[in-house]
């Protein structure tokens, strides 16, 4: 039983890892995936939905790509917008429904929360594979005024708005490129 469990955990980590520990080909794959919501051929309706998402969920912070969290996480977030990290991010019912559907459609198909003891993450930055990927970054680079927290993806990932997180595009304020 233990072996079985370990195997499935390993499989999950591997599956999730393809996203973060990608060789160049897989990385291209991920990039296309993460930039789904701005992919060129979009219907008029999709464009309207993306614009709505960016306006409403990009009002206070970077509009995170839905691909970074599974549906269960987005559902949890959408259920508690009246108390969203100490703010009120409530939407009118029609917009709420549109955004919830958008997040569900583009959500990560990987669990991403293996090792969190059943807890459903609402932060991308608290998921184990995010922490793993960012473990080498000294705290002072994150807590400095120009970044503040790991929630501020676009402070370091200069092309994150277009869904691209390549290492050569990283510029940490006051420290420069990561490579």
| Three-class HEC string of 66-122 | HHHCEHHHHHHHHHCHHHECCECCCCCHHHHHHHHHHHHHHCECCCCCCCCCCCCCC
- Of 106 and 157, CB closest to ligand HEC: 157
Structure tokens at 99: 């955004």
Contact status: 99 vs ligand HEC (CB under 6 A): yes
Contact status: 77 vs ligand HEC (CB under 6 A): yes
Contact status: 152 vs ligand HEC (CB under 6 A): yes
Among the listed residues 32, 79, 134, 140, the single contact to ligand HEC using CB under 6 A: 134
Contact region with ligand HEC (CB under 6 A), list: 10-18, 38-46, 110-118, 170-178: 170-178
Structure tokens at 41: 């051929």
Structure tokens at 24: 């160049």
- DSSP letters of 55-67? HHHTSSS----GG
Task: Decide: 159 and 128 in contact? Cβ < 8 Å.
Answer: no
- Of 47 and 131, CB closest to ligand HEC: 131
Burial class for 37, CB neighbours closer than 10 Å (0-12, 13-18, 19+) = buried
Contact status: 64 vs ligand HEC (CB under 6 A): yes
Give least dist CB 52 to ligand HEC, A: 10
Contact status: 112 vs ligand HEC (CB under 6 A): no
Distance CA 45, CA 38 (A): 13
- With contacts defined by CB under 6 A, how many residues of the chain interact with ligand HEC? 41
Contact region with ligand HEC (CB under 6 A), list: 10-18, 35-43, 111-119, 129-137: 129-137
Burial class for 125, CB neighbours closer than 10 Å (0-12, 13-18, 19+) = middle
Contact region with ligand HEC (CB under 6 A), list: 3-11, 35-43, 112-120, 139-147: 139-147
Query: Which residues of the shown chain bind ligand HEC in the complex (CB under 6 A)?
Result: 20, 22, 56-57, 59-61, 64, 68, 77, 81, 84-85, 87, 89, 99, 123-125, 133-134, 136-137, 141-142, 147-153, 155-157, 165-167, 170, 172, 178
């Amino acid at each position: 039983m233990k072996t079985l469990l370990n195997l499935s955990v390993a499989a999950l980590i591997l599956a999730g890892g393809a996203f973060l520990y990608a060789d160049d080909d897989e990385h291209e794959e991920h990039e296309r995936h993460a930039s789904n919501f701005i992919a060129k051929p979009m219907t008029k309706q999709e464009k309207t939905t993306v614009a709505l998402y960016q306006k409403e969920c990009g009002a206070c912070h970077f509009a995170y790509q839905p691909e970074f969290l599974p549906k269960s996480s987005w559902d949890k977030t959408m259920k508690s917008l009246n108390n969203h990290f100490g703010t009120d991010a409530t939407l009118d019912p029609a917009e709420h429904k549109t955004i919830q559907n958008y997040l569900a459609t583009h959500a990560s198909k990987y669990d991403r929360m293996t090792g969190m003891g059943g807890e459903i993450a609402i932060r991308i930055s608290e998921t184990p594979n995010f922490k793993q990927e960012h473990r080498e970054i000294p705290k002072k680079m994150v807590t400095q005024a120009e970044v503040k927290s790991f929630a501020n993806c676009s402070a370091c990932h200069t092309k994150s708005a277009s869904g691209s997180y390549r290492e050569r595009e990283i510029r940490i304020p006051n420290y420069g490129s990561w490579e």
